[in-house]
Amino acid sequence: MKVEWNKRYTTIAVYSFTVIACSIILYMFISNAGEFLSKISGMIATLRPFIIGGAIAYILNFMLKFYENLLSKWDKFDKQSKKVKRSVGLVLTYISASIMLYLFLQFVLPQLLDSILGLANSIPQYVKELSNITNELIGKVDLDPQFIDVLMKQWNDLVNTVITIITNMVPVIGNWVLELSSSLFSIFIGVIVSIYMLIDKEKLLALCRKIVFAFSPNERAKFILRIARISNDTFGKFLVGKIIDSLIIGVLTFCILSICKMPYTLLISVIIGITNIIPFFGPFFGAIPSVIIVLFVSPTKALWLVLIVFVIQQIDGNIIGPKILGDTIGISAFWILFSLLIFSKLLGFVGMIVGVPIFAVVYSLIKETVEVRLKDKGLPTSTEEYK
């Protein structure tokens, strides 16, 4: 006996079954979210050496390219095989990286830790002296007592906040050092992984392209590879350029502050250099804590520091930055602020660094899609035409 199915009710039944099944899966996922996330964390911990190795290889690849191009211009290596150039380039790359790491650990890190510990220990004395100066200034000014009370309350809140932040820096740095020490094995394996990745980087990239074409239609595969190429160009130029730019700004700040005999010179230079990696608003993020630190020692020097940081950032924004970076971001200050707010909320400090190039890639793809659609409709692509 043949059963005659009603197509309408069969469709409804299939959709109902799908919705119920998805609801059950979603419920099971939510109810076991902790266990699921712990498994993901375990997988990430297992893959940590490969993640670290990939990051090291990506950063050092730019140095390797520099050495390989330099060797190609040398007559002695120009006729050598690619394997020989790669081997020599790798040796020079890792020697250069090791020298920079040694210089940082030998000269910068110890002084940096001493500056932070000295600042934390000297905070109570600085606060007492600054409070005395503030009370004297308020006593000389004829103000309403209620206004003075409000002003003193706000001042005390600010002082307590600053003390808390600076005091908490010591355990945070201690935990960071301990975590770094416990991750030495992963870092060591990551360095080895990065060497193998740089040796066979062309083969690995070819394998990735092969997989993309195998599991995607040709047009979609080409689109995916184009996105990857744009992302690599944007990230590469931006990150390497920003690292070089921030290193120059950090050294320049250290030299000027040393000449001016500014307190906590190395600490302030490191803060200015690191925050300079953040696009557009980085100098402001670095200047605020630096000025507060110096303010405890001398208000006059704090004002001089504001002027010095302003001059250095003008030099960076108008001379150094454009020479190194050019127009690698290609988006306005509004979109930079937008991407910083979004990605800093999602990824913290890392989001403030990588958020802008990520948004720049997305922005360029959306812009290209919009312009193609406008051209298909015979409309102008310039934004000025729509004002």
Q: Which residues contact 344 (CB under 8 A, 6 or more apart)?
A: 351, 352, 355
19 within domain boundaries: yes
The token pair that represents 189 in the structure block: 């394996």
308 within domain boundaries: no
How many degrees, rounded to 5, is the angle at CA 173 between CA 289 and CA 344?
A: 55
**CA–CA dist 385, 129 (Å, integer):** 61
Give the pLDDT band of residue 198 (cuts 50, 70, 90). Answer: very high
342 within domain boundaries: yes
132 within domain boundaries: no
pLDDT digits (tens, 9 = 90+) for 229-245: 888 888 877 888 888 88
Cα 120 to Cα 117, 167, 178, 309, distances in angstroms: 5, 6, 20, 23
Return mean pLDDT, the chain. Answer: 79
Cα 92 to Cα 106, 145, 373, distances in angstroms: 21, 69, 49
38 within domain boundaries: yes
pLDDT digits (tens, 9 = 90+) for 327-373: 556 677 777 778 878 887 777 777 777 888 888 888 888 888 888 88
Sign of CA dihedral 314, 318, 324, 326: positive
59 within domain boundaries: no
pLDDT at 138: 66
57 within domain boundaries: no
What total of structural domains would you count in the chain?
A: 2
Backbone angles phi, psi at 110, to 5 degrees: -60, -45
Residue 355: give the domain boundaries. 329-381
